[in-house]
């Protein structure tokens, strides 16, 4: 390639004039094409976090159980018995719009590598998905491709997909969100990190061969979409879950030896970012000889090899005397294994190809002088609280409408395409508990895992909405009886150069931080995805709803103590928590009153913690038969979901509040509330009073109907039929 | 009962199978590598689920040609017991150790859900833990589980009582044309079959995933109990 390197080319690579000036300063000369490529991907939003970094630093990341917080490939928390949970969530939004199947599949592959690169065997996958309006042409195609892609990859690698969430909104029409989370388990004393060490130690490449796919993927992920988005298809990578499975087994086999000094997967920006980060973290230099890189195409240039995002590749620094042991393991698994360089004492990355020095960059300034922006922002105007909204349709009609709406309809059509049982440890499958539970192999312990975010709340009030996302994740873990430990965040926002979007980001971080501190629920890993906006031919820019998706992990000492929300006959039903009867930003308001306004529900973090700690203690002391938190759709939807999953009805007593406010109490999305099924409601309410936790009796489980004091009687079979209808009808028509 | 589990590249339910065998037989199974050219002394060889060689050709087609399959065939010909679950069943049909083929699910989608299996034969080691007509729950997780065979093959299987398990409703009703009851569209709702000597069994669903009371159900236990009772001398 004989392209002239100048400011114009730098601009095409996504570097501003000022950033290119910095490059010239650091290099003291015009960079080569390969060098410019390296700077541009390392300084892309995706790799450098240049717009978000100063804000992310305010999040709490520590707790006694946190082993490694942000900064490693994934977060690590202690779960007892000398074991840790290793987890992270990451977005693959842009690729999934361009090519849904491969975009989603490689999103799963990438996050798996982040986890097993640390020495953890992946034990659970989750995914948080946001799609456009079901009525928009194209939404179906994207849903179909993404679901097939997530399943195609996860099923083949043999990691159970146990949870996640799905929302639909027109704001995602041109920019769906695919956030994939992996949780793994590793011995606490066998965590592998990425900091390279040992001058002269070999740098080893393993996995798939390098091709020309995904070149500049990280740069693409750092810009908005326009009408030419489809032309970016060549920047999307292609996944090979079979090779990933072999890579998992080979890496874990190698990790049982002591051959590895450092290891890092080749994710965004491929060989460039793994080499630069490993050497940079270790404070050493690195020299690569690209002739030795396994290649699946001929005639690749240094630039192409350094920027390729071919999947299923890892970079390692090995102890020289153990290289042969490692080679034999990778040969057994029929994976490429190549020594492609060594560590140096130059503190520079030097790249040789065909006898020519293609790049020679000092590592410290490449990292330290990466741009950081304190972008201007404006706060989202405070939402106007709703005044009373009359009920135009009645309780029964609203109940059935909500149960059948895209955001509440049964997700079974999706789960049933994901293998949720492989591994043989899945104790609570999707759709049976507020968090999925996976037993830790060889112990009685269980990990509770969930992902949560309610983007419409965040849009209305970024701080309260983001706090709600953290609180809901904490509550979902709590509702199974597990102790919430820590979160990973996947912050999906629009264009940070738009002060309103930047304001959403800044306030959301504040809300998240508040909730994390109040709930002792630190952030241990995360990912930021900006520029999620679509530029229409008429020049209008549509931003996604701000979506800080929260992935959470908790632990329960004995999986047999965990509860789901299926309830048997003849239990007392008790509501824990205080109802406010607020309909602002509720699904009822959107689906029934056709309005999307008002303030989101109040998040009282003190009540959240007090109520949750009470519920958890009741579950682990065996007093709770079933538990379900109040979330989208409110109290009556929570009860209906308990009936649907168990096939058991419930008989509710007439509540004391004003009948004109009945719909607000049944469908208001009150926070910090749980419905509990228990053998003794009286004992539960007494215990709650002692703990200063609001509690009231709702009625009893039993029969075949959802029965509201004999005024409204709906058969559970009807609830289920309505709830089941949306996805098959939408997708298989 | 000494059991060996064959690992192909891409196998992913070997840990599930090992857990079930360990739990029910009290004995640790040995792991066998697909390139092995000899088997240790064993009572049972298991081909577990997964995506051998990525199933990038027909499911199981590559696995059927792995070196170890020569040994598995010899073991079977000498009267040995071989169980293939899911991808293992696919490999057994590709290796022609069992008749028929497993095509893409009728829905053209991967299906991961609980199904109910009706026990159609209770005289094999794999089925003797149940009574004929018993129904048990088992999870299925496959894209290619749609059992097909030529009419004469089906007639023989049925005539010789070699259909081990059929997809059914919880109450035992069988209806091959109802996708709710026969989710992958298998001919005659066949979920599992036996070899002529009753010693090779292939089935698509995963009884090995329902053996542990701590995980909520033990529906799959009779399969492993029956094997232990038959194979422990």
Instruction: Tell me the HSE value of A731 on the side-chain side, using a 13 A CA sphere.
Output: 23
Helix, strand or coil, per DSSP, at residue A35: helix
Provide the CATH number for the domain formed by A563-733 in this structure.
3.90.650.10
Task: DSSP for B151-205, please give it.
Answer: HHHHHHHHHTT-EEEEEE-TTS---TT-TTTSTT--GGGEEEEE-TTS-EEEESS
Instruction: Give the angle A204-A284-A110 at the CA atoms, nearest 5°.
Output: 45
pLDDT of A346 reads 95
Query: What pLDDT digit, counting tens, does each position of A466-513 carry?
Result: 999 999 999 999 999 999 999 999 999 999 999 999 999 999 999 999
Q: What is the pLDDT of residues A76-91, one digit of tens each?
A: 999 999 999 999 999 9
Q: Which of B93, B157, B99 is nearest to B124 (CA)?
A: B157
Of B10, B143, B206, the CB nearest to A421: B206
How many residues does the structure list for chain A? 733
DSSP string, A372-415: -------PPPPPPPP-----SS-HHHHHHHHHHSTTTS--HHHH
Q: How far apart are CA A500 and CA A502, in angstroms?
A: 5
Q: Quick check: B12 and A151 CB within 8 A?
A: no
Six token digits for residue B56: 């990038």
Give pLDDT, residue A1.
47
A724 carries a ligand binding annotation: no
**Smallest Cβ distance to A560: which of B13, B112, B214?**
B214
- What backbone phi and psi angles, to 5 degrees, belong to A488? -120, 145
Looking at residues A133-150, what average pLDDT do you find?
Answer: 95
Residue among A245, A422, A441 whose CB faces B10 most closely: A245
Residues A86, A75 contacting (CB under 8 angstroms): yes
**What order do you get walking across the sheet with B3-7 strand by strand?**
B30-33, B3-7, B44-47, B81-85, B200-203, B190-194, B163-168, B111-119, B135-142
- Which residues of B does the annotation mark as catalytic? 86, 206, 208
Question: Any idea which residue has 């086999």 for tokens?
Answer: A253
> What span, in angstroms and rounded, lies between the C-alpha atoms of B165 and B194?
9
Task: Using the predicted structure, report yes or no on whether residue B99 has a pLDDT greater than 90.
Answer: yes
Length of chain B, please? 233
Q: Which residues pair with A199 in a beta bridge?
A: none
Determine the distance in angstroms separating the CA of A335 from the nearest CA of chain B, rounded to an integer.
11
Q: What is the largest CA-CA distance in chain B?
A: 46
pLDDT digits (tens, 9 = 90+) for A201-255: 999 999 999 998 877 665 655 566 665 655 655 667 788 999 999 999 999 999 9
H or E element that contains A343: strand A336-344
Instruction: Provide the sign of the torsion angle of the four alpha carbons A584, A587, A593, A595, taken in this order.
Output: positive
Structure confidence by residue, pLDDT tens digits, A569-616: 999 999 999 999 899 999 999 999 999 999 999 999 999 999 999 999
For residues B167, B169, B170, B172, the Cα torsion angle rounded to the nearest 10 degrees is -80
Closest to B188 measured CA to CA, from B178, B198, B197, B196: B178
pTM of the prediction? 0.95
Which residues of A carry out catalysis? 46, 92
Tell me: pLDDT of A453 over 90: yes
For B138, which residue in chain A has the nearest alpha carbon? Answer: A421
Q: How many CA atoms lie within 13 A of A603 on its CB side?
A: 28
Of the candidates A265, A120, A128, A131, which has an alpha carbon nearest to the alpha carbon of residue A185? A120
Residue A596 backbone phi and psi in degrees, to 5: -125, 65
CB contact under 8 Å between B49 and A423, yes or no, is no
Judged by DSSP in three states, A73 sits in coil
The single-letter DSSP state of residue A225 is B
- If you search the block for the tokens 């936790």, which residue do you land on? A693
Residues of B in contact with A328 (CB under 8 A): none
Alpha carbons A571 and A624: distance in angstroms, whole number: 10
Residues in chain B whose beta carbon is closer than 8 A to a beta carbon of chain A? 9-10, 12-13, 15-16, 19-20, 49-51, 53-56, 109-113, 139, 141, 143, 206, 208-209, 212, 214-216
* Mean pLDDT value across chain A: 94
Rounded distance between C-alpha atoms, residue A161 and residue A150, angstroms: 9
ipTM computed for the complex: 0.95
CA atoms of A234 and A214, how far apart (whole Å):
7
Q: Which residues of A touch B (CB under 8 A)?
A: 148, 151-152, 155-158, 240-243, 245-246, 333-334, 412, 415-427, 439, 441, 444, 559-560
Q: Quick check: B49 and A422 CB within 8 A?
A: yes
- Distance CA(A568)–CA(A560), nearest Å, equals 17
Instruction: Closest CB to B111: pick one of A240, A243, A416.
Output: A416
**Could you report the per-residue pLDDT of A32-78, keeping only the tens digit for each?**
999 999 999 999 988 889 999 999 999 999 999 999 999 899 999 99
Using 50, 70 and 90 to split pLDDT, how confident is the model at B184?
Answer: very high
Q: Which residue of chain A has the CA closest to B140?
A: A419
Kindly report the backbone phi and psi dihedral angles of residue A323, in degrees, each rounded to the nearest multiple of 5, phi listed first: -60, -35
What residue spans define the domains of chain A?
Answer: 563-733
CB count within 10 Å of CB A709 equals: 12
Q: Which residues of A touch B9 (CB under 8 A)?
A: 242, 245-246, 333-334
Q: Is the pLDDT confidence value at A455 over 60?
A: yes
Q: Using alpha carbons only, how large is chain A's radius of gyration in Å?
A: 26
- Label the pairing between strands B81-85 and B44-47: parallel
Concatenated DSSP letters of B97-119: SS-SEEEPPTTSS-EEEEEEEEE
């Amino acid at each position: 390639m004989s392209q002239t390197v100048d400011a114009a080319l730098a601009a095409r690579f996504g570097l501003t004039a000022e950033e290119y000036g910095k490059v010239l300063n650091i290099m003291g000369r015009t960079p080569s094409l390969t060098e410019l490529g390296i700077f541009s991907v390392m300084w892309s939003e995706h790799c450098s976090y240049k717009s978000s970094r100063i804000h992310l630093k305010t999040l709490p990341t520590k707790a006694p159980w946190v082993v490694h917080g942000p900064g490693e490939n994934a977060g690590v928390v202690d779960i007892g018995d000398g074991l840790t949970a290793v987890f992270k969530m990451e977005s693959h939004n842009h690729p999934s719009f361009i090519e849904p199947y491969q975009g989603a599949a490689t999103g799963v592959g990438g996050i798996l590598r982040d986890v097993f690169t640390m020495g953890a065997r992946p034990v659970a996958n989750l995914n948080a998905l946001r799609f456009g309006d079901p009525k928009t042409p194209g939404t179906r195609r994207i849903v179909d491709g993404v679901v097939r892609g997530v399943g195609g990859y996860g099923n083949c690698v043999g990691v159970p997909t146990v949870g996640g969430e799905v929302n639909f909104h027109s704001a995602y029409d041109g920019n769906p969100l695919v956030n994939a989370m992996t949780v793994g388990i590793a011995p606490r004393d066998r965590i592998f990190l990425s900091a390279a060490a040992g001058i002269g130690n070999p740098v080893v490449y393993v996995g798939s061969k390098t091709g020309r796919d995904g070149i500049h993927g990280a740069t693409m992920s750092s810009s908005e979409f326009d009408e030419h988005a489809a032309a970016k298809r060549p920047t999307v990578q292609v996944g090979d879950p079979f090779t990933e499975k072999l890579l998992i087994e080979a890496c874990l086999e190698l990790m049982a030896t002591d051959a590895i000094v450092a290891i890092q997967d080749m994710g965004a920006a491929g060989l460039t970012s793994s080499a630069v980060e490993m050497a940079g973290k270790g404070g050493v230099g690195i020299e690569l000889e690209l002739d030795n890189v396994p290649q699946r195409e001929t005639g690749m240039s240094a630039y192409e090899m350094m920027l390729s995002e071919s999947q299923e590749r890892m970079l390692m620094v090995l102890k020289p005397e153990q290289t042969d042991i490692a080679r034999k393991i990778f040969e057994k698994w029929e994976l490429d294994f190549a020594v492609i360089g060594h560590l140096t004492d130059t503190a520079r990355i030097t790249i040789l190809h065909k006898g020519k020095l293609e790049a020679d960059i000092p590592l410290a300034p490449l990292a330290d002088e990466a741009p950081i922006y304190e972008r201007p922002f404006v706060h989202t105007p405070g939402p106007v609280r709703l005044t009373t909204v009359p009920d135009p349709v009645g309780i029964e009609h609203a109940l059935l409408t909500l149960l059948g709406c895209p955001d509440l309809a049964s997700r079974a059509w999706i789960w049933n395409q994901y293998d949720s049982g492989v591994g043989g440890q899945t104790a609570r499958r999707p759709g049976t508990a507020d968090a999925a539970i996976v037993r830790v192999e060889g112990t009685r312990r269980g990990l509770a895992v969930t992902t949560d975010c309610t983007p419409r709340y965040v849009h209305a009030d970024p701080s309260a909405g983001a706090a709600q996302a953290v609180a809901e994740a904490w509550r979902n873990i709590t509702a199974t009886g597990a102790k919430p430990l820590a979160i990973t965040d996947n912050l999906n926002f629009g264009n940070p150069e738009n002060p309103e979007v930047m304001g959403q980001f800044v306030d959301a971080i504040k809300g998240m931080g508040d909730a994390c501190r109040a709930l002792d629920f630190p952030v241990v890993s995360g990912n930021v995805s900006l520029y999620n906006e679509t530029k229409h031919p008429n020049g209008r820019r549509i931003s996604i709803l701000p979506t800080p998706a929260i992935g959470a992990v908790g632990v329960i000492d004995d999986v047999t103590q965990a509860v789901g929300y299926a309830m048997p006959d003849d239990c007392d039903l008790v509501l824990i928590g205080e109802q406010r009867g607020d309909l602002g930003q509720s699904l009822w308001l959107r689906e029934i009153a056709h309005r999307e306004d008002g303030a989101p529900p109040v998040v009282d973090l003190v009540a959240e913690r007090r109520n949750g700690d009470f519920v958890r203690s009741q579950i682990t002391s065996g007093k709770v038969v079933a538990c379900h938190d109040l979330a989208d759709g409110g109290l009556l939807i929570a009860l209906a979901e308990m009936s649907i999953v168990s096939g058991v009805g419930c008989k509710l007593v007439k509540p004391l509040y004003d009948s004109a406010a009945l719909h607000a109490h049944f469908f208001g999305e009150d926070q910090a509330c749980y419905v509990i099924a228990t053998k003794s409601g009286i004992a539960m309410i007494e215990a709650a009073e002692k703990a200063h936790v609001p509690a009231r009796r709702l009625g009893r489980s039993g029969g075949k109907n959802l029965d509201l004091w004999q005024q409204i009687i709906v058969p559970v079979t009807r609830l289920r039929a309505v709830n089941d209808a949306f996805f098959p009808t939408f997708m298989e028509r | 009962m000494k059991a060996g589990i064959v690992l192909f590249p891409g196998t992913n339910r070997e840990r599930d199978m090992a857990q079930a065998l360990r739990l029910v037989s009290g004995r640790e199974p040995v792991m066998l590598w697909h390139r092995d050219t000899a088997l240790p002394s064993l009572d049972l060889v298991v081909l577990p689920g997964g995506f051998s060689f990525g199933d990038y050709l027909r499911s199981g087609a590559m696995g059927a040609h792995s070196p170890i399959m020569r040994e598995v065939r010899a073991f079977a010909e000498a009267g040995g017991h071989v169980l293939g679950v899911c991808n293992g069943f696919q490999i057994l049909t590709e290796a022609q150790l069992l008749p028929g083929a497993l095509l893409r699910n009728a829905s053209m989608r991967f299906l991961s859900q609980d199904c109910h299996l009706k026990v159609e034969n209770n005289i094999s080691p794999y089925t003797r833990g149940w009574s004929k007509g018993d129904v048990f729950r088992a999870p299925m997780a496959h894209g290619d589980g749609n059992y097909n065979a030529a009419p004469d093959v089906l007639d023989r299987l049925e005539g010789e009582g070699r259909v081990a398990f059929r997809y059914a409703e919880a109450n035992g009703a069988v209806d091959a044309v109802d996708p709710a009851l026969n989710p992958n569209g298998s001919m005659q709702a066949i979920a599992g079959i036996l070899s002529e000597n009753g010693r090779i069994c292939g089935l698509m669903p995963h009884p090995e995933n329902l053996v542990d009371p701590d995980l909520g159900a033990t529906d799959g236990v009779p399969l492993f109990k029956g094997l232990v009772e038959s194979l422990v001398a």
